[in-house]
Amino acid sequence: MFDVVIRGGTLVGPRLLESDIAIIDGKIASIGLDLPGANEEIDARGLHIFPGLIDVHLHFNEPGRTEWEGVATGSRALAAGGGTLFFDMPLNSTPCTVNARAFDLKLAALAQSSITDFGLWGGLIPGNVSEMPELAARGVVGFKAFLCDSGLPEFPRADDLTLLDGLREAARLGLPVAVHAESQELTQGLARRFALQESDSIRVFLASRPIVAELEAIQRATLLAQETGAKLHIVHVSSGRGVALAAEARARGADVSIETCPHYLFFTEEDIERLGAVAKCAPPLRNASERDSLWTQLLAGAVGIVASDHSPAPPDMKCGDFGRAWGGIAGVQSTLPVLLDRGFYGHGLPLDRIASLVAGEPARRFGIPAKGSLATGMDADLTLVDLSRSAQLQPQLLLQRHALSPYLGCTFRGCVERTIRRGETIFAGGKVTAYGKGRFIRPVQN
């Protein structure tokens, strides 16, 4: 007897396949037509079934900054967007996850209240390379470093020597290093220069973070990664030229994965003028032609992973003066809607490529073999989507801590109807249906 059978959905994979899925003990036990009955039957006729989203980059800020987000609210919002697993960044929690003690505190907090499964990033900062082995032994998915100011004094940027040492140590440990790739020298110098010349804080911000600052940092990080043999993951690449430069390094033999975020595929810098600080992030949103070239790179297969970089802050830090506002976009619920509406409907991006960007490739790159695809024996992490339904994002639909998002008011074709984590429905009919029970997932080194 199966625990759950999902009937008649269209499975998203290399071929679209209409089938039943049976689940036992949280795993996919059988895929086929007319499977026998189960304790729980779910009718998925007319729906598409994706592997549950794996969001490799977000900030739930717990412990220590739960007034910004928190795992209980953040994981519910992730589930509402079709997510079943996330990797939490080492900041903006307090303490930042830069040693084993901080790791243990975060693990305890997340295990208590996450409704989705979760993994943890460690941090790479000046002086903590010696902590990396213990963090690896605890089960981090990799190490995150900033090449420019992180926005938090307790998480200083990695200078070149720290990056070199960290990459070498990560290579020895078999784990990737993720970098925020913007040049400190260029962004800081330009910010000083333009602050004197210009009174509009949006103009100053955009002018201080040009694409060349991203390109310079990508060039340097890929060079050091190739030199050390480390796996490098470049987070939130904002421009088509950035993707192209990283892909060139990969073609030369560097082990590089490229992530972009839905907001770089959806918005342009004109939207910053319209939306204000809610659309402030770093690297910043780019102009329409740069956004289009990012799409060109993604459609050509150069981008492997799309992640939300959900980085919320309280309303008083996202309103008022743009220059002082927190740089981070709260979009954890909108990744799949953006990829379906703008990707599948807008650009003809095949559904199985979407599944690869948000589940298959994240699982492969970060060593999570039990997740990321629909096959017998895999964890039953499933996202049921109605491609024919459209919905406008309203504040009451946002399940995160603060109902702030640049996507509010936008209408998306394609809606998440149900999210299933290891066989248990955690989101359905617009409501969260589970409390806790998310599990810590550690990578299997390949």
Q: Which is nearer to Zn ion, 281 or 415 (CB)?
A: 281
Q: Which is nearer to Zn ion, 62 or 309 (CB)?
A: 309
- 378: tokens are 């895999």
Comparing C-alpha atoms, which of 201, 149, 140, 196 is closest to residue 169?
140
Strands 38-43 and 27-32, sheet pairing: unpaired
Q: Which is nearer to Zn ion, 264 or 427 (CB)?
A: 264
Least distance CB 169 / Zn ion (angstroms):
22
User: Which positions lie near Zn ion, rule CB under 5 A?
Assistant: 309
Asked if 87 and 55 touch (Cβ cutoff 8 Å), the reply is yes
Please name the amino acid found at residue 101: R
Q: Which is nearer to Zn ion, 20 or 259 (CB)?
A: 259
Q: Which is nearer to Zn ion, 228 or 333 (CB)?
A: 333
Least distance CB 122 / Zn ion (angstroms):
14
Least distance CB 166 / Zn ion (angstroms):
18
Q: Which is nearer to Zn ion, 283 or 367 (CB)?
A: 283
DSSP string, 237-274: --SHHHHHHHHHHHHTT-EEEEEE-HHHHH--HHHHHH
Comparing C-alpha atoms, which of 347, 344, 322, 335 is closest to residue 407?
335
Please name the amino acid found at residue 239: S
Least distance CB 97 / Zn ion (angstroms):
13
The span from the CA of 388 to the CA of 415, in Å, is 8
Least distance CB 57 / Zn ion (angstroms):
6
Q: Which is nearer to Zn ion, 48 or 209 (CB)?
A: 209
Number of residue whose CB is nearest Zn ion: 309
- 55: tokens are 């969001």
Q: Which is nearer to Zn ion, 50 or 266 (CB)?
A: 266
The span from the CA of 264 to the CA of 290, in Å, is 9
Least distance CB 47 / Zn ion (angstroms):
31
Helix axes 211-228, 240-251, angle to 10 degrees: 20
Asked if 49 and 9 touch (Cβ cutoff 8 Å), the reply is yes
Task: Name the burial class of residue 265, with classes exposed (0-12), middle (13-18) and buried (19+) by CB atoms within 10 angstroms of its CB.
Answer: buried
Which residues, 6 or more positions from 248, have their beta carbon under 8 angstroms from its beta carbon?
A: none
The span from the CA of 129 to the CA of 344, in Å, is 42
Residue 302 three-state SS: coil
What is the DSSP code (8-state) at residue 373? S
Least distance CB 311 / Zn ion (angstroms):
5
Query: What Rg, from alpha-carbon coordinates, does the chain have?
Result: 21
Least distance CB 273 / Zn ion (angstroms):
23
Q: Which is nearer to Zn ion, 98 or 349 (CB)?
A: 98
Least distance CB 223 / Zn ion (angstroms):
23
